[in-house]
Amino acid sequence: MSAIVFDQVAKSFGPVRAVAGCSLEIADSSFLAILGPSGCGKTTLLRMLGGFLTPDAGRILIGGREVTHLPPFRRNLGFVFQSYALFPHLTIADNVAFGLRMRRLGAAEVAARVRKYLELVRLPGAEDRYPDQLSGGQQQRIALARALAIEPDVLLLDEPLSALDRKLREEMQAELKEIQAALGVTTLLVTHDQEEALTMADRIVVMSAGRVEQVGPPEEIYEAPRTRFVADFVGVSNFFEGAVVAGEPGLFRTSGGTTFRIAANGHAPEGGLVLRPERITVHRSRPAATPANLHPARIVRVLYQGQKTRVDLKLADLSLTAMVPNARRGAGLALNDEVFVEIDPEGFRSLAR
Ligand SMILES: Nc1ncnc2c1ncn2[C@@H]1O[C@H](COP(=O)(O)OP(=O)(O)OP(=O)(O)O)[C@@H](O)[C@H]1O
Ligand SMILES: [Mg+2]
Protein backbone atom coordinates (compact mmCIF):
# COMPACT_ATOMS: atom_id res chain seq x y z
CA MET A 1 0.00 0.00 0.00
CA SER A 2 1.77 3.13 -1.11
CA ALA A 3 -0.89 5.63 -1.96
CA ILE A 4 0.31 9.17 -1.26
CA VAL A 5 -1.55 12.05 0.32
CA PHE A 6 -0.48 15.68 0.44
CA ASP A 7 -2.76 17.46 2.87
CA GLN A 8 -2.54 21.27 2.77
CA VAL A 9 1.23 21.14 2.40
CA ALA A 10 3.04 24.49 2.25
CA LYS A 11 6.67 25.57 1.99
CA SER A 12 8.24 29.01 1.75
CA PHE A 13 11.83 30.08 1.28
CA GLY A 14 11.99 33.50 2.93
CA PRO A 15 9.45 35.60 1.06
CA VAL A 16 9.02 33.03 -1.75
CA ARG A 17 5.98 30.77 -1.40
CA ALA A 18 7.30 27.78 -3.30
CA VAL A 19 4.32 25.53 -2.47
CA ALA A 20 1.12 27.16 -1.20
CA GLY A 21 -1.35 24.86 0.52
CA CYS A 22 -1.21 21.88 -1.83
CA SER A 23 -3.63 18.95 -1.40
CA LEU A 24 -3.31 15.90 -3.62
CA GLU A 25 -4.15 12.19 -3.48
CA ILE A 26 -2.16 9.75 -5.57
CA ALA A 27 -3.45 6.18 -5.94
CA ASP A 28 -1.27 3.17 -5.19
CA SER A 29 0.63 1.89 -8.26
CA SER A 30 -0.35 4.90 -10.33
CA PHE A 31 1.86 7.16 -12.44
CA LEU A 32 1.45 10.86 -11.76
CA ALA A 33 3.13 13.58 -13.79
CA ILE A 34 3.68 17.00 -12.27
CA LEU A 35 3.67 19.60 -15.00
CA GLY A 36 4.20 23.33 -14.74
CA PRO A 37 6.45 26.25 -15.65
CA SER A 38 9.88 26.81 -14.15
CA GLY A 39 9.73 27.91 -10.52
CA CYS A 40 6.14 26.75 -9.87
CA GLY A 41 7.20 24.44 -7.01
CA LYS A 42 7.48 21.00 -8.65
CA THR A 43 10.87 20.07 -7.24
CA THR A 44 9.96 21.50 -3.83
CA LEU A 45 6.90 19.24 -3.71
CA LEU A 46 9.00 16.20 -4.62
CA ARG A 47 11.72 17.05 -2.11
CA MET A 48 9.14 17.29 0.67
CA LEU A 49 7.82 13.86 -0.26
CA GLY A 50 11.40 12.58 -0.29
CA GLY A 51 12.12 14.01 3.15
CA PHE A 52 14.85 16.41 1.99
CA LEU A 53 12.72 19.41 2.94
CA THR A 54 10.30 19.80 5.85
CA PRO A 55 6.96 21.45 5.10
CA ASP A 56 6.07 24.63 7.01
CA ALA A 57 2.51 23.34 7.31
CA GLY A 58 0.38 20.33 6.36
CA ARG A 59 0.89 16.56 6.37
CA ILE A 60 2.28 13.97 3.98
CA LEU A 61 1.19 10.32 4.11
CA ILE A 62 2.67 7.32 2.30
CA GLY A 63 0.63 4.13 2.41
CA GLY A 64 -1.55 5.58 5.16
CA ARG A 65 1.44 6.35 7.41
CA GLU A 66 2.32 9.95 8.22
CA VAL A 67 5.89 10.67 7.09
CA THR A 68 5.92 14.49 7.32
CA HIS A 69 8.83 14.54 9.78
CA LEU A 70 10.57 11.26 8.97
CA PRO A 71 14.10 11.40 7.56
CA PRO A 72 14.57 10.23 3.93
CA PHE A 73 16.04 6.83 4.81
CA ARG A 74 12.89 5.87 6.71
CA ARG A 75 10.62 6.43 3.71
CA ASN A 76 11.80 3.73 1.25
CA LEU A 77 11.78 5.90 -1.86
CA GLY A 78 13.74 5.64 -5.09
CA PHE A 79 15.02 8.79 -6.84
CA VAL A 80 16.22 9.68 -10.29
CA PHE A 81 17.26 13.24 -11.09
CA GLN A 82 17.97 15.20 -14.22
CA SER A 83 21.75 15.04 -13.94
CA TYR A 84 22.91 11.46 -13.92
CA ALA A 85 24.35 11.65 -10.42
CA LEU A 86 26.02 8.26 -10.62
CA PHE A 87 29.12 7.88 -8.46
CA PRO A 88 31.90 8.26 -11.04
CA HIS A 89 34.49 6.29 -9.08
CA LEU A 90 32.20 3.28 -8.61
CA THR A 91 31.51 0.58 -11.17
CA ILE A 92 28.00 0.18 -12.55
CA ALA A 93 27.44 -2.83 -10.28
CA ASP A 94 28.56 -0.85 -7.22
CA ASN A 95 26.38 2.08 -8.25
CA VAL A 96 23.32 -0.15 -8.49
CA ALA A 97 24.26 -1.93 -5.25
CA PHE A 98 24.76 1.31 -3.34
CA GLY A 99 21.37 1.53 -1.65
CA LEU A 100 21.35 -2.22 -1.02
CA ARG A 101 24.63 -2.13 0.92
CA MET A 102 23.34 0.85 2.89
CA ARG A 103 20.44 -1.40 3.83
CA ARG A 104 22.90 -4.17 4.79
CA LEU A 105 21.59 -6.80 2.42
CA GLY A 106 23.69 -9.97 2.09
CA ALA A 107 26.20 -10.29 -0.77
CA ALA A 108 24.21 -12.95 -2.63
CA GLU A 109 21.02 -10.88 -2.49
CA VAL A 110 22.91 -7.77 -3.62
CA ALA A 111 24.38 -9.62 -6.61
CA ALA A 112 20.99 -11.06 -7.54
CA ARG A 113 19.28 -7.69 -7.44
CA VAL A 114 22.05 -5.97 -9.41
CA ARG A 115 21.64 -8.61 -12.12
CA LYS A 116 17.85 -8.38 -12.07
CA TYR A 117 17.64 -4.60 -12.33
CA LEU A 118 20.39 -4.27 -14.95
CA GLU A 119 18.40 -6.74 -17.01
CA LEU A 120 15.22 -4.77 -16.43
CA VAL A 121 16.80 -1.58 -17.80
CA ARG A 122 18.26 -3.64 -20.67
CA LEU A 123 21.91 -3.23 -19.73
CA PRO A 124 22.90 -6.74 -18.63
CA GLY A 125 26.65 -7.22 -18.57
CA ALA A 126 27.46 -3.58 -17.76
CA GLU A 127 28.48 -4.48 -14.18
CA ASP A 128 32.21 -3.80 -14.46
CA ARG A 129 32.09 -0.61 -16.50
CA TYR A 130 32.31 2.92 -15.11
CA PRO A 131 29.71 5.66 -15.63
CA ASP A 132 31.92 7.69 -18.00
CA GLN A 133 32.09 4.68 -20.32
CA LEU A 134 28.33 4.87 -20.89
CA SER A 135 26.19 7.20 -22.98
CA GLY A 136 23.82 9.68 -21.37
CA GLY A 137 20.82 7.44 -21.99
CA GLN A 138 22.62 4.41 -20.57
CA GLN A 139 23.65 6.38 -17.49
CA GLN A 140 20.04 7.35 -16.89
CA ARG A 141 19.06 3.68 -17.12
CA ILE A 142 21.66 2.85 -14.48
CA ALA A 143 20.30 5.63 -12.29
CA LEU A 144 16.86 4.06 -12.75
CA ALA A 145 18.19 0.58 -11.92
CA ARG A 146 19.82 1.98 -8.78
CA ALA A 147 16.55 3.63 -7.72
CA LEU A 148 14.53 0.47 -8.39
CA ALA A 149 16.98 -2.01 -6.86
CA ILE A 150 15.95 -1.06 -3.33
CA GLU A 151 12.41 -2.03 -4.34
CA PRO A 152 10.99 1.28 -3.21
CA ASP A 153 7.37 1.96 -2.29
CA VAL A 154 7.49 5.12 -4.39
CA LEU A 155 9.66 6.20 -7.30
CA LEU A 156 10.41 9.92 -7.61
CA LEU A 157 11.63 11.19 -10.96
CA ASP A 158 12.69 14.83 -11.35
CA GLU A 159 13.13 15.56 -15.06
CA PRO A 160 15.09 12.32 -15.53
CA LEU A 161 15.02 12.44 -19.32
CA SER A 162 15.49 16.13 -20.04
CA ALA A 163 19.21 15.84 -20.80
CA LEU A 164 18.56 13.30 -23.55
CA ASP A 165 17.97 14.06 -27.21
CA ARG A 166 14.42 13.79 -28.46
CA LYS A 167 14.59 10.37 -30.08
CA LEU A 168 16.27 8.72 -27.11
CA ARG A 169 13.93 10.53 -24.75
CA GLU A 170 10.90 9.08 -26.53
CA GLU A 171 12.37 5.56 -26.37
CA MET A 172 13.12 5.95 -22.68
CA GLN A 173 9.60 7.26 -22.04
CA ALA A 174 8.10 4.10 -23.48
CA GLU A 175 10.53 1.85 -21.58
CA LEU A 176 10.10 3.65 -18.29
CA LYS A 177 6.34 3.44 -18.63
CA GLU A 178 6.55 -0.32 -19.26
CA ILE A 179 8.87 -0.88 -16.32
CA GLN A 180 6.62 1.17 -14.04
CA ALA A 181 3.54 -0.78 -15.12
CA ALA A 182 5.31 -4.13 -14.71
CA LEU A 183 6.54 -3.33 -11.19
CA GLY A 184 3.42 -1.42 -10.17
CA VAL A 185 5.51 1.08 -8.22
CA THR A 186 3.72 4.36 -7.42
CA THR A 187 5.59 6.96 -9.48
CA LEU A 188 5.79 10.74 -9.49
CA LEU A 189 7.43 12.33 -12.50
CA VAL A 190 8.28 16.02 -12.63
CA THR A 191 8.55 17.37 -16.14
CA HIS A 192 8.47 20.57 -18.20
CA ASP A 193 7.55 18.55 -21.23
CA GLN A 194 3.81 18.34 -21.81
CA GLU A 195 4.05 15.55 -24.37
CA GLU A 196 6.03 13.50 -21.88
CA ALA A 197 3.33 14.06 -19.25
CA LEU A 198 0.52 13.27 -21.69
CA THR A 199 2.08 10.05 -22.98
CA MET A 200 3.41 8.60 -19.72
CA ALA A 201 1.07 9.47 -16.88
CA ASP A 202 -2.22 8.02 -15.64
CA ARG A 203 -2.94 11.41 -14.16
CA ILE A 204 -1.41 14.85 -14.54
CA VAL A 205 -1.18 17.65 -12.02
CA VAL A 206 -0.74 21.08 -13.56
CA MET A 207 0.85 23.50 -11.09
CA SER A 208 1.13 27.27 -11.23
CA ALA A 209 2.84 29.50 -8.66
CA GLY A 210 2.87 26.87 -5.91
CA ARG A 211 -0.75 25.81 -6.42
CA VAL A 212 -2.52 22.92 -8.07
CA GLU A 213 -4.43 24.29 -11.08
CA GLN A 214 -5.98 21.02 -12.23
CA VAL A 215 -5.61 17.28 -11.67
CA GLY A 216 -6.94 14.69 -14.09
CA PRO A 217 -6.20 12.01 -16.66
CA PRO A 218 -4.25 13.23 -19.72
CA GLU A 219 -7.33 13.29 -21.98
CA GLU A 220 -9.19 15.46 -19.50
CA ILE A 221 -6.33 17.91 -19.04
CA TYR A 222 -6.01 18.29 -22.80
CA GLU A 223 -9.65 18.09 -23.91
CA ALA A 224 -11.26 19.86 -20.96
CA PRO A 225 -8.83 22.34 -19.39
CA ARG A 226 -10.61 24.12 -16.56
CA THR A 227 -8.65 27.33 -16.52
CA ARG A 228 -7.02 29.57 -19.05
CA PHE A 229 -3.65 28.80 -17.50
CA VAL A 230 -4.02 25.05 -18.12
CA ALA A 231 -5.38 25.56 -21.64
CA ASP A 232 -2.47 27.84 -22.44
CA PHE A 233 0.26 25.75 -20.80
CA VAL A 234 -0.80 22.40 -22.24
CA GLY A 235 -1.03 22.42 -26.03
CA VAL A 236 -2.13 25.23 -28.34
CA SER A 237 -5.44 26.98 -27.64
CA ASN A 238 -7.84 29.48 -29.13
CA PHE A 239 -9.56 31.73 -26.59
CA PHE A 240 -12.85 33.57 -26.96
CA GLU A 241 -14.01 36.41 -24.72
CA GLY A 242 -17.70 37.23 -24.70
CA ALA A 243 -21.00 35.94 -23.36
CA VAL A 244 -23.89 33.64 -24.10
CA VAL A 245 -26.70 35.42 -26.00
CA ALA A 246 -29.59 36.19 -23.62
CA GLY A 247 -32.27 33.47 -23.88
CA GLU A 248 -30.10 31.38 -26.25
CA PRO A 249 -27.85 29.09 -24.19
CA GLY A 250 -26.43 27.47 -27.34
CA LEU A 251 -25.22 30.74 -28.86
CA PHE A 252 -22.06 32.59 -27.81
CA ARG A 253 -21.25 36.13 -28.95
CA THR A 254 -17.64 37.28 -28.77
CA SER A 255 -16.88 40.77 -27.52
CA GLY A 256 -16.16 41.67 -31.17
CA GLY A 257 -19.64 40.54 -32.25
CA THR A 258 -19.01 37.17 -33.94
CA THR A 259 -21.48 34.45 -32.91
CA PHE A 260 -20.82 30.72 -32.57
CA ARG A 261 -23.06 27.75 -31.87
CA ILE A 262 -21.74 26.01 -28.78
CA ALA A 263 -22.78 22.67 -27.33
CA ALA A 264 -24.89 23.28 -24.23
CA ASN A 265 -22.66 21.72 -21.58
CA GLY A 266 -24.44 23.11 -18.57
CA HIS A 267 -22.10 25.77 -17.26
CA ALA A 268 -22.04 29.43 -18.12
CA PRO A 269 -18.82 30.39 -19.91
CA GLU A 270 -18.19 33.47 -17.78
CA GLY A 271 -14.45 32.89 -18.05
CA GLY A 272 -14.66 32.69 -21.84
CA LEU A 273 -14.28 29.68 -24.14
CA VAL A 274 -11.35 27.61 -25.29
CA LEU A 275 -11.10 25.66 -28.54
CA ARG A 276 -8.31 23.27 -29.52
CA PRO A 277 -6.88 23.90 -33.00
CA GLU A 278 -7.72 20.44 -34.37
CA ARG A 279 -11.42 21.21 -33.81
CA ILE A 280 -11.26 23.71 -36.66
CA THR A 281 -11.73 22.42 -40.20
CA VAL A 282 -10.39 24.61 -42.99
CA HIS A 283 -12.32 24.44 -46.31
CA ARG A 284 -10.77 25.88 -49.45
CA SER A 285 -14.23 26.70 -50.82
CA ARG A 286 -17.69 26.96 -49.32
CA PRO A 287 -18.88 23.41 -48.48
CA ALA A 288 -22.17 22.16 -50.02
CA ALA A 289 -23.84 21.44 -46.68
CA THR A 290 -23.91 24.28 -44.16
CA PRO A 291 -22.45 23.22 -40.81
CA ALA A 292 -23.37 24.82 -37.47
CA ASN A 293 -20.43 27.23 -37.52
CA LEU A 294 -19.10 28.32 -40.88
CA HIS A 295 -17.18 31.58 -41.25
CA PRO A 296 -15.06 33.13 -43.98
CA ALA A 297 -11.44 33.69 -42.93
CA ARG A 298 -8.07 34.63 -44.35
CA ILE A 299 -4.84 32.72 -43.85
CA VAL A 300 -2.18 34.90 -42.23
CA ARG A 301 0.52 32.28 -41.57
CA VAL A 302 1.27 28.71 -42.61
CA LEU A 303 3.77 26.60 -40.67
CA TYR A 304 4.52 23.16 -42.06
CA GLN A 305 5.22 20.75 -39.17
CA GLY A 306 5.57 17.36 -40.84
CA GLN A 307 2.53 15.40 -39.69
CA LYS A 308 0.41 18.51 -39.63
CA THR A 309 0.37 22.11 -40.78
CA ARG A 310 -0.33 24.93 -38.38
CA VAL A 311 -2.53 27.53 -40.04
CA ASP A 312 -3.12 30.93 -38.43
CA LEU A 313 -6.30 32.64 -39.56
CA LYS A 314 -8.01 36.00 -39.30
CA LEU A 315 -11.76 35.64 -38.80
CA ALA A 316 -13.54 39.01 -38.42
CA ASP A 317 -12.15 40.37 -35.13
CA LEU A 318 -10.56 37.03 -34.16
CA SER A 319 -7.16 35.45 -34.63
CA LEU A 320 -7.42 31.65 -34.73
CA THR A 321 -4.99 28.77 -35.03
CA ALA A 322 -5.97 25.53 -36.79
CA MET A 323 -4.00 22.28 -37.10
CA VAL A 324 -4.55 20.58 -40.43
CA PRO A 325 -3.36 16.97 -40.79
CA ASN A 326 -1.05 16.40 -43.74
CA ALA A 327 -2.66 13.10 -44.65
CA ARG A 328 -1.68 13.30 -48.31
CA ARG A 329 0.66 15.96 -49.64
CA GLY A 330 0.60 18.94 -47.32
CA ALA A 331 -2.57 20.83 -46.57
CA GLY A 332 -2.55 22.74 -49.87
CA LEU A 333 -3.14 25.99 -48.02
CA ALA A 334 -1.17 29.17 -48.63
CA LEU A 335 -0.65 32.59 -47.14
CA ASN A 336 -3.48 35.06 -47.94
CA ASP A 337 -5.86 32.32 -49.16
CA GLU A 338 -9.50 33.17 -48.52
CA VAL A 339 -11.02 30.08 -46.91
CA PHE A 340 -13.99 28.93 -44.82
CA VAL A 341 -13.54 27.65 -41.31
CA GLU A 342 -15.91 25.17 -39.76
CA ILE A 343 -15.97 24.80 -35.99
CA ASP A 344 -17.47 21.82 -34.21
CA PRO A 345 -19.86 23.21 -31.52
CA GLU A 346 -18.75 20.32 -29.27
CA GLY A 347 -15.19 21.59 -29.45
CA PHE A 348 -15.80 24.70 -27.33
CA ARG A 349 -15.11 24.39 -23.61
CA SER A 350 -16.08 26.84 -20.90
CA LEU A 351 -13.32 28.17 -18.70
CA ALA A 352 -13.62 28.97 -15.00
CA ARG A 353 -12.87 32.55 -14.09
N1 LIG B 1 16.60 26.22 -1.40
C2 LIG B 1 15.91 27.29 -1.83
N3 LIG B 1 16.14 28.53 -1.35
C4 LIG B 1 15.42 29.59 -1.78
N5 LIG B 1 14.47 29.53 -2.72
C6 LIG B 1 14.22 28.35 -3.27
C7 LIG B 1 14.91 27.15 -2.87
N8 LIG B 1 14.42 26.11 -3.59
C9 LIG B 1 13.48 26.62 -4.39
N10 LIG B 1 13.33 27.95 -4.22
C11 LIG B 1 12.36 28.82 -4.91
O12 LIG B 1 11.08 28.23 -4.78
C13 LIG B 1 10.36 28.32 -6.01
C14 LIG B 1 9.99 26.94 -6.49
O15 LIG B 1 11.18 26.24 -6.83
P16 LIG B 1 11.20 24.77 -7.42
O17 LIG B 1 12.61 24.34 -7.53
O18 LIG B 1 10.27 23.93 -6.63
O19 LIG B 1 10.57 25.02 -8.87
P20 LIG B 1 10.39 24.00 -10.09
O21 LIG B 1 8.94 24.01 -10.43
O22 LIG B 1 11.01 22.70 -9.78
O23 LIG B 1 11.18 24.75 -11.26
P24 LIG B 1 12.09 24.14 -12.45
O25 LIG B 1 11.10 23.66 -13.47
O26 LIG B 1 12.85 25.33 -12.93
O27 LIG B 1 12.94 23.05 -11.90
C28 LIG B 1 11.24 29.11 -6.95
O29 LIG B 1 10.85 30.44 -6.91
C30 LIG B 1 12.64 28.92 -6.39
O31 LIG B 1 13.45 30.01 -6.71
MG1 LIG C 1 12.65 21.62 -10.57
**pLDDT level of residue 326 (50, 70, 90 thresholds):** confident
The tens digit of pLDDT for each residue in 70-93 reads: 999 899 999 998 776 899 999 999
Under the banding of pLDDT at 50, 70 and 90, the label for residue 247 is confident
Q: What top-level class would CATH report for the domain 4-229?
A: alpha beta
CB 157 within 8 A of CB 188: yes
- Rounded average pLDDT over 282-293: 90
CB of 18 sitting under 6 A from ligand 1: yes
**79 CA distance to ligand 2 centroid (A)?**
14
| Fold (topology level) of 238-350 | OB fold (Dihydrolipoamide Acetyltransferase, E2P) (2.40.50)
Q: Which of the listed residues 11, 22, 42 should we mutate to test ligand 1's pocket, taking the one with most ligand atoms within 8 A of CB? A: 42
Q: Hey, which of 78-87, 158-167, 255-264, 266-275 has the most confident mean pLDDT? A: 255-264
Q: Do 17 and 174 contact (CB within 8 A), yes or no?
A: no
Give the chain's length.
Answer: 353
44 CA: nearest ligand 1 atom: 18
Which ligand 1 atom lies nearest to the CA of residue 210? 14
Write down the domain spans for the chain.
4-229, 238-350
In the prediction, which pLDDT does 116 show? 94
Are residues 119 and 177 in contact, defined by beta-carbon separation less than 8 angstroms?
no
The whole-number pLDDT of residue 246 equals 87
Q: Give residue 242's region: left, alpha or beta (phi > 0; psi -120 to 50).
A: left
DSSP for residue 253: E
Q: Is 39 in the pocket of ligand 1 (CB under 6 A)?
A: yes
Which residue among 6, 9, 19, 40 has the greatest number of ligand 1 atoms within 8 angstroms of its CB, and so is best to mutate? 40
Quote the pLDDT of residue 162. 85
The angle that helices 136-149 and 107-120 make with each other, rounded to 10 degrees, is 140
Ion ligand 2 contact residues with beta carbon within 5 A:
43
In the prediction, which pLDDT does 265 show? Answer: 62
Report how far ligand 2's centroid is from the alpha carbon of 191 (Å).
Answer: 8
Amino acid identity of residue 201, one-letter, is: A
Specify the DSSP element, H or E, that contains 242. strand 242-245
For ligand 2, the distance from its centroid to the CA atom of residue 42, given in whole angstroms, is 6
Reported as type and span, the H/E element at residue 32 is strand 31-35
**202-235 pLDDT, tens digit each:** 999 999 999 999 999 999 999 999 999 999 999 9
Q: What number is the average pLDDT over the span 193-210? A: 94
Instruction: Look at strands 294-304 and 280-283 and give their pairing.
Output: unpaired
Residue nearest to atom 26 of ligand 1 (CA): 38
Query: How confident is the prediction for the chain on average, in pLDDT?
Result: 92
Q: Is 16 in the pocket of ligand 1 (CB under 6 A)?
A: yes
Looking at this protein, which amino acid is placed at residue 163? Answer: A
132 pLDDT exceeds 60? yes
Ligand 1 pocket residue status of 41, Cβ below 6 Å: yes
Element (H, E) at 7: strand 4-13
Q: Which residue CA neighbors atom 19 of ligand 1 most closely?
A: 39
pLDDT at 264: 64
109 close to 100: Cβ distance less than 8 angstroms = yes
Which atom, in ligand 1's list, is nearest to the CA of 207? 21
What's residue 84's pLDDT? Answer: 62
- Average pLDDT on 252-271 reads 82
Given a cut of 60, whether residue 38 has pLDDT beyond it is yes
Q: Quick: pLDDT tens for 145-179.
A: 999 999 999 999 999 888 788 888 898 899 899 99
